[in-house]
Structure 1
Amino acid sequence: MEVVINRRVRRRRRLVRLFFRLLLLSLVLAAGSAVALLSYTKMQGPPPLNVAQTTIFYGVDNSPIGQHHQGENRHWVSLSAIDSDVIDATISIEDRRFYRHLGFDVNRIGGAVVANLRAGSMAQGASTLTQQYARNLYLSHDKTWKRKWNELLYALRLEMNYDKDQILEGYLNTVYYGHGAYGIEAAARHYFGKSANNLTLAEASMLSGIPKGPSYYSPLFDLERAKQRQAVVLQSMVTNGVLNQVEADEAHAEPLDFVYDELESPSTVGPYFQDAVERILAEDVGIDPALFEAGGLKVYTTLDPKMQKEAEYWVEREMPDTNLQTALVAMDPRTGDVKALVGGKDYVESPFNRAIQSRRQPGSSFKPFLYYAALENGYTPASTLLSEPTTFQVDDGRDRWTPSNFNDNYANDFITLLQAMAFSDNIYAVKTHLYLGTDKAGELAQRVGVESPLGTRPSLALGTSNVGIAELARAYSAFANGGKKVEPRFIRKVVDADGDVLYESEPELLQVLDPKLAYITTDLMKGMFDPYLNAHTSVTGRSVAHLINRPVAGKSGSTDWDSWMVGYTPQLVTSVWVGYDSELKLNHATEGQHAKNIWANFTEHALKDQPALDFPKPEGIVEVKMNPANGLLATEDCPTHRVTYFVEGTEPTQECPKPAANGEEVEAIDEDSHEKERFIDRFFKWFGH
């Protein structure tokens, strides 16, 4: 028995000795490998500090319209000239153990490896500042083990040949902070108008959060999201022991004054458009922001460089040298392709993209949605209502509302839908809105692409719910293309540095309107440019009608703060807004024509090389010579007329009566229209004088 026990003890001792020998051998091999690796990286010498590739944007004609650079060394400053809060914030949020590792953090790598193995992907990274610097200089942003290994080698080369302060200095001088600002000095000057050594804690923490996603976390694009990122940075500084909680809270609460100084000169073709493309790539297409910042992509867009230059030219020529702002979006209604986009008067002074991000009251430019809904519910261009000062009882009779026409111009008589559109009569619009039901106009607008919430209040008929400039261009496209809702398209395809297509799109259209009623709505909107319709007041497009030499349709709109013109041809829909960013009201006497003038001149010149097409008439439409004042058929005794279009079977059949023998005017309003007016009076009880 004792012999057996002794054998077991000896066997166990041999195994223990073998284990320790193998462990010692492994440690020697690991140490040797580490020494060899470090020696190798040291012998390789200092790696060259290259910059990343350039991403190029192309217009619809495949000509370059702009570039996006990553790694430009602009305003290089020494580490001693950078505020200590920037250094502390950057290290805290990006790499807390920066001064204690050799280019890679074993603890972070171990945690990331475990997490990625569990997830079955490379979703989680563990890159140090040195690795990020190496990746931006030498590598792609592919999430592969091979790339991570190469990143480690380059990081070791940097660590073996440069000291920590040199690496940190290089990182802070080459990292991209958005809007063309490369390096912390350029970023400090651009965002806050000061040098990097004069930043406050609040400013330093805001800037330090941007490199994670320059387009996504830019405070100029989305201040709320940037403030959330700033809070993360400040909290990481608290965790890292360089701040206390009180200091962090005070810095987060401190107001920031952005000055937009020292912006890198943007491309001369569509800087606002290119910003929109960058955001779409990150937020909608799903291109990794890191991949985009690494560069080397070819982004083929829908922008027409010639149209864009025309848009920028007419904005510059028309807009006064004041704080008055504007935005323009031009879209091909047949495809949804955005052909031109202006987000403000001057991109350098204000990169805020009003064309995409602003929401303003459209005023009467909302009425086409209301009147299409009316056509769906039994109206025709000949339908008449009484235009006179009117007080409406709203909110189930609990309130009274007295809207007015522009300059208090009323027919004090019945007018047709054709005239109501051409004159932009508010009384006709409100009566129609209430008669149809206050949900109809909003439902129609959303059907054709308006995504902003609209509500159902009575004043919606007069455009009191905020919408976007691009939204109206998209929504009007359905009138221009025969009733199809379009998806706005900015990007045709994206190709990476290896020639692989990362993303490609095709036009998306969906039939949502009756082509016949869309055509009639377009014909009604032609009326705003037809001086033959002038009566108790003039058509709203009289001031620009002489500038257009092709078939066009459209609708203007105004509020105390906004001026709009949205119009179209079969090839191009253009939405133009003019107003102040603040709550300052417009002086319509001096500032009310800018939107119309920009729209008319741009439309005429942008299409100068294209044929003057008319809108195709669908089957089932008939034309009649209609007296525009009363909606009846013109005759030899009542010759005043305009050729007007109707769905077959709904056209007027009653002729204008002969003039009275004594020369007095004979009332010639369709009895059915009178009955409709009386029905509204009786049923809704909304009218009172």
Structure 2
Amino acid sequence: MELIPGSRFRGTVKYIRAFIFISLILTFLFAACITAIIALAKWEGAPPLAVPQTTVFYADDGTKIGESDNGQTRYWVGLHDMSPAIIHATVAVEDRKFFDHYGFDIKRIAAAVIADIKAMRKVQGASTITQQYARNLFLTLDKTWLRKLQEALYTIRLEVNYTKQDILEGYLNTIYYGHGVYGVEAAARYYFGKSANKLTLSEASMLAGIPKGPSYYSPFVNETRAKQRQKMVLQAMVASGYISKKEAEQAYRTPLLYSHHHEMVQKPIAPYFQDTVKYVLRTKIGLDERTIEMGGLRVYTSLDPNMQAIAEQQIQQIIDPSSAIQAALVAMDPRTGEVRALVGGRDYEKSQYNRAIQAERQPGSTFKPFLYYAAIKQGFTPSTEMRSELTTFTLDDGSTYTPHNYNNYYANDTITLAQAIALSDNVFAVKTHLFIGEDQLVETAKKLGITSKLKKVPSLALGTSPVKVIDMVTAYGILANGGKKIEPVFIKKIVNYRGETIYEAKQHEEPVLDEDAAFVTTELMTGMFDPKLNDYTTVTGQTIASDITRPYAGKSGTTETDSWMIGYAPQLVAGVWTGYDRGEKMTKPAEKQYAKKIWVQFMEKSLQKEPVKSFTPTKGVVGVYINPDNGKLATDACPVKRLTYYITGTEPTEYCTEHMQKKKKKKEHREKSSNWLEKLFEWF
């Protein structure tokens, strides 16, 4: 036996000692690196899990009215809202050891490297679910070493800061299933027309196989390949212990009913309303375009789908199809300001211009209720009388102004304020406007939310300054609710993809009008439907009065180029505008009736199932019966009586004696006739 010389032995020990020392150093450095990476991941904190998702818009009843996706459909749902079958199928085929590793499957990586070396090309993937999710969050597929390093660091951050359930939920909500569809919820709807929580084992196993190659394994591209991939998924589920072999065979044989081939292109629901909602999201709530389009928001709106359908239907049916006349309609709950229906034009596909929100048109006589509210505040009453006759006004600057009544009809006598608004007497309106001061009407209109520029001129009383339909309806809504400020509400609530409420509409009940004067104005506006106020002409609502089945307050307005009708019941206020976009004159009598007809049909059908309600008098008003012809207290001798409301203390105290004198003369005549007969009888 040969002995190892001491020098060689010492040299061997030296090498072994150096190897151990270097190994310890490397182990320490590796542990330090791992610790540093984990510490860095902790220090950087949890990475955001949000990715572009489809924003969905809902009506007030919870039905979906639209979505914003930029060509991509994405929804976010929790694991508890997914079928267990899709969760198990995905884990089994994508990352069987997902719940056991810390983001990287070392054995799988080694096996993939060996397989790639043998084939001399990349034939096997080794990415875990966490790695794939990190890649999805980066939203870029460039194959640089820097991106791969970032992806690895992102993977560690995910594993360190989130639970496995959080990561799996995020992954299932972001993977691509082809055809512009991202996430399991969107895929379930797209392929099978159902939510992810209702997927069967057969459907889930088909979907789980698609992300491997969406353009290759999609059943809409090649169903044979898709079925082969489904079989692999089911086998993986059996190997993972999620299902039995028998269940796998049965799921494979089960026929799949797809929905995509039967999808119909539907007409968008309330497109003008949806455009307005997006505008509000940008301007009022302050969300950027990307968040609106791809933020995964759930936007709950105030839209009533039934009222919207009624509005669109009436516009379509009443306006002559061959006419170029346009229309706009806004309906609102006067108690809350919630917009229940909105139409911005007759055909959204031809014109996206929103005439209900963007256009400014002359409101005509629909502006008069604001004038008469201001007048009542200045001491006018429904019985205030002025002459209705052709009048030329000389203004302070020396110029003259001569307003004309419709068709140049005048009473050539005194009429009451109640008659003036019901008959829409222009001379009475201008006299009132100049008497109370031109600034009073402007101030009142601004209190009521009119945002357009108003000119302090005599003709403002006749609605010559252009305004928006939405503003006019809001103003009438304030009159309807007794003078409380409201603003149009299109969005009731917004929920982000996590289910957190990030916005909720709130109205502040701030009084902007005197409630008693507002109620008296409302009662005056009921007169347009009441033939008791007929005088030198009929009330302006005569043509639609027979269609009315409940109390309404309203006012119509007509100019050479515009036709309006705005009115309300206690539960609903609506305004309709019709006219030509380019301001052409409306020459046909039927054209000037469109707005009234649309309005009355919309109101009647929309409130069909609602209880009939009257306007409730406020505490500071009193109702008395008057002779509508002269505004005096009615007596038994008056042939016509009308209940009229006044601010307490301003009601008339003088009784109508005109008919009493006539009645007395008739009685005397009858008595004389009777005496003559008696004398004749005695003579015989």
Q: TM-score scaled to structure 2, two decimals?
A: 0.62
Aligned 1:183-332 pairs, distance under 5 A: 267-321=267-321, 322-332=323-333
Aligned length: 448
The CA distance in 2 between the partners of 1:434 and 1:147, in whole Å, is 72
1:504 aligns with 504
The CA distance in 2 between the partners of 1:476 and 1:434, in whole Å, is 23
1:453 aligns with 453
2:492 aligns with 492
Q: Please give the per-residue CA displacement for 1:380-436, whole angstroms capped at 9, x wherever unaligned.
A: 000000000011112x14211111000111100000000000000000000000001
Q: Please give the per-residue CA displacement for 1:549-572, whole angstroms capped at 9, x wherever unaligned.
A: 111000000111100000001111
The DSSP-based 3-state class of the residue aligned with 2:632 is: coil
The DSSP-based 3-state class of the residue aligned with 2:542 is: coil
Q: Please give the per-residue CA displacement for 1:498-526, whole angstroms capped at 9, x wherever unaligned.
A: 21222221233321111111111011000
In the alignment, residue 384 of structure 2 is paired with which amino acid?
Answer: S
How much has 1:69 moved relative to structure 2?
2.2
In the alignment, residue 362 of structure 2 is paired with which amino acid?
Answer: Q
- Contact preservation (8 Å) 1:69, 1:295: no
How much has 1:151 moved relative to structure 2?
3.0
- Contact preservation (8 Å) 1:52, 1:70: no
Inter-CA distance 265–328: structure 2 relative to 1 (3 Å threshold) = farther
Q: Does 1:374 align with 2:375?
A: yes
Please list every run of 5 or more consecutive structure 2 residues that lacks an aligned counterpart in the other structure: 1-50, 74-132, 149-178, 181-263, 667-684
How much has 1:282 moved relative to structure 2?
1.3
2:601 aligns with 601
1:362 aligns with 363
1:645 aligns with 645
In the alignment, residue 393 of structure 1 is paired with which amino acid?
Answer: T
The CA distance in 1 between the partners of 2:400 and 2:493, in whole Å, is 54
Aligned 1:7-406 pairs, distance under 5 A: 53-72=53-72, 150-151=137-138, 154-156=141-143, 267-321=267-321, 322-394=323-395, 396-406=396-406
Inter-CA distance 270–152: structure 2 relative to 1 (3 Å threshold) = closer
2:681 aligns with none
Inter-CA distance 155–578: structure 2 relative to 1 (3 Å threshold) = farther
Inter-CA distance 422–296: structure 2 relative to 1 (3 Å threshold) = same
In the alignment, residue 373 of structure 1 is paired with which amino acid?
Answer: A
In the alignment, residue 633 of structure 1 is paired with which amino acid?
Answer: L
The CA distance in 2 between the partners of 1:662 and 1:519, in whole Å, is 35
How much has 1:271 moved relative to structure 2?
0.9
- Contact preservation (8 Å) 2:387, 2:413: yes
The DSSP-based 3-state class of the residue aligned with 1:625 is: strand
How much has 1:645 moved relative to structure 2?
0.6
Q: Please give the per-residue CA displacement for 1:83-102, whole angstroms capped at 9, x wherever unaligned.
A: xxxxxxxxxxxxxxxxxxxx
- Contact preservation (8 Å) 2:135, 2:141: no
The CA distance in 2 between the partners of 1:651 and 1:522, in whole Å, is 16
The CA distance in 2 between the partners of 1:638 and 1:58, in whole Å, is 56
How much has 1:662 moved relative to structure 2?
8.0
Aligned 1:620-631 pairs, distance under 5 A: 620-631=620-631
- Contact preservation (8 Å) 1:479, 1:519: yes
After superposing on structure 2, the runs of 4+ consecutive aligned residues of structure 1 that deviate more than 6 Å are: 146-149, 157-161, 660-666
The CA distance in 2 between the partners of 1:597 and 1:305, in whole Å, is 21
1:470 aligns with 470
1:566 aligns with 566
Moved more, 378-387 or 476-485: 476-485
In the alignment, residue 381 of structure 1 is paired with which amino acid?
Answer: P
Inter-CA distance 159–551: structure 2 relative to 1 (3 Å threshold) = farther
Aligned alpha-carbon RMSD (Å): 3.1
2:579 aligns with 579
The CA distance in 2 between the partners of 1:277 and 1:629, in whole Å, is 48
- Contact preservation (8 Å) 1:67, 1:267: no
The CA distance in 2 between the partners of 1:265 and 1:562, in whole Å, is 35
Inter-CA distance 68–267: structure 2 relative to 1 (3 Å threshold) = farther
In the alignment, residue 528 of structure 1 is paired with which amino acid?
Answer: M
- Contact preservation (8 Å) 2:326, 2:580: yes
- Alignment identity in percent? 49
How much has 1:494 moved relative to structure 2?
1.2
Q: Please give the per-residue CA displacement for 1:514-552, whole angstroms capped at 9, x wherever unaligned.
A: 111111101100000011221210000011111111110
In the alignment, residue 331 of structure 1 is paired with which amino acid?
Answer: M
Inter-CA distance 576–629: structure 2 relative to 1 (3 Å threshold) = same
How much has 1:637 moved relative to structure 2?
2.7
Moved more, 637-646 or 541-550: 637-646
The CA distance in 2 between the partners of 1:611 and 1:586, in whole Å, is 37
The CA distance in 1 between the partners of 2:521 and 2:393, in whole Å, is 27
Inter-CA distance 655–663: structure 2 relative to 1 (3 Å threshold) = closer
How much has 1:265 moved relative to structure 2?
6.4
- Contact preservation (8 Å) 2:563, 2:577: yes
1:517 aligns with 517
Q: TM-score scaled to structure 1, two decimals?
A: 0.61
The CA distance in 2 between the partners of 1:499 and 1:628, in whole Å, is 59
The CA distance in 2 between the partners of 1:503 and 1:665, in whole Å, is 73
